[in-house]
Amino acid sequence: MRNRLINRITANAEHDERIMLVTGDLGFSVLEGFEKKFPKRYVNVGIAEQNMAAVAAGLALEGNMVFTYSIGNFPTLRCIEQVRNDICYHDANVKVLAVGGGFAYGTLGMTHHATEDIAMMRALPNMNVFVPCDYVSAEKIADEICHFPHPCYVRMERGGEKRVFAEEADFSVYDIQCLRKGKRVALITMGTLVNEALEAAEDLDLSVYVVLAVKPINKKQLEEIADKYEHIITIEEHNVIGGLGGAVCESLADKRHKALISRMGLNDEYTSVVGHQEYLRKIYNIDKNAIICKVKELK
């Protein structure tokens, strides 16, 4: 996912001299292609993410399109003040790329578990939030944000993710994609958790939807889904407060709909367990088996 997105940004940079890439001393084995082709448009600011955001904002206000890159919480939570005051307040053309969303860096502990990032980025005016679920959607998001003159946040995982969409798939990143049609219950998720949802759906005949644009989220589609099913379950590798579930509930709060909504994610808690991503999904009840249990609890 991360390599394909960076490669697509590099391809766009061939035709757009405004595109720059700023890293916080990370991205080795990922960013070298861009650095080699465009050494004057590549900046390593060192392990100084707050400075990275400020430098990116300054470069953007001089007419550039700047991508920042780091892992987990570092390009977002560590420098939230700079993202808010320098980037979003000025509507600067900066794209914040984070690799290792959710539990992707699970073995490194709570400091590297990015489980509040969507909420914080989504709350910032002018910031747009995208979450690819595979390399096909990552490439489409890359193309979209390379032609979008406003701040963006892209939450990726570490790489090697299972492909969800066909290579030749034609879709808008702003549309909520239906990956499986079932009855009565609709699962709405983001990122690679969609694979857990698809596996659970096979056993229970559920519909599965994946959201690529968490902000702006497609309210019209959500209303159609909420009027079609008896239950909606949102599933996210994130705090249930302020993330995908919050975005769905906020979008549907203005009027009455058929569906009842349940949210699955971290229940407003910090992770206290260290382990690989699959293990942590099991511990925090967002894996296939937890989804199946949740559906069976519905009346």
CATH of the domain at 223: 3.40.50.920
Q: Based on the domain organization, do 144 and 230 belong to the same domain?
A: no
pTM across the whole model: 0.96
Q: Based on the domain organization, do 114 and 182 belong to the same domain?
A: no
Residue 165 lies in a domain: no
Q: Based on the domain organization, do 275 and 228 belong to the same domain?
A: yes
Contacts of 82 (CB under 8 A, 6+ apart): 50, 53, 54, 57
Q: Based on the domain organization, do 181 and 150 belong to the same domain?
A: no
Cα–Cα distance measured from residue 132 to residue 154, given in angstroms and rounded to the nearest whole number: 8
Residue 167 lies in a domain: no
pLDDT in tens, the chain (299 residues): 999 999 999 999 999 999 999 999 988 888 999 999 999 999 999 999 999 999 999 999 999 999 999 998 999 999 999 999 999 999 999 999 999 999 999 999 999 999 999 999 999 999 999 999 999 999 999 999 999 999 999 999 887 889 999 999 999 999 999 999 999 999 999 999 999 999 999 989 999 999 999 999 999 999 999 999 999 999 999 999 999 999 999 999 999 999 999 999 999 999 999 999 999 999 999 999 999 999 999 96
Q: Based on the domain organization, do 11 and 142 belong to the same domain?
A: yes
Which amino acid appears at position 229 of this protein? Y
Map residue 130 onto helix, strand or coil: strand
Range of the domain at 273: 177-297
Interstrand relation of 207-210 and 177-180 (parallel, antiparallel or unpaired): antiparallel
Q: Based on the domain organization, do 124 and 19 belong to the same domain?
A: yes
Distances (CA, A) of 36 to 17, 29, 101, 186, 193: 15, 12, 27, 46, 34
Residue 91 lies in a domain: yes
Indicate which CATH number applies to the domain containing 26. 3.40.50.970
Residues 50 and 78 sit within 8 Å (Cβ to Cβ): yes
Interstrand relation of 128-130 and 213-215 (parallel, antiparallel or unpaired): antiparallel
> Could you give the number of structural domains in the chain?
2
Cα–Cα distance measured from residue 34 to residue 11, given in angstroms and rounded to the nearest whole number: 9
Cα distance from N-terminal residue to C-terminal residue, the chain: 38
Q: Within 13 Å, how many C-alpha atoms sit on residue 242's CB side?
A: 15
Residues 135 and 4 sit within 8 Å (Cβ to Cβ): yes
Q: Based on the domain organization, do 23 and 113 belong to the same domain?
A: yes
Q: Based on the domain organization, do 34 and 146 belong to the same domain?
A: yes
Pure H helices in 62-192: 80-82, 117-122, 135-145
Q: Based on the domain organization, do 122 and 227 belong to the same domain?
A: no
Residue 163 lies in a domain: no
Q: What is the pLDDT of residue 293?
A: 96
Structure tokens at 234: 């949102």
Q: Based on the domain organization, do 141 and 192 belong to the same domain?
A: no
User: Residue 210 is inside which H or E element, if any?
Assistant: strand 207-210
Q: Based on the domain organization, do 145 and 194 belong to the same domain?
A: no
Residues 157 and 102 sit within 8 Å (Cβ to Cβ): yes
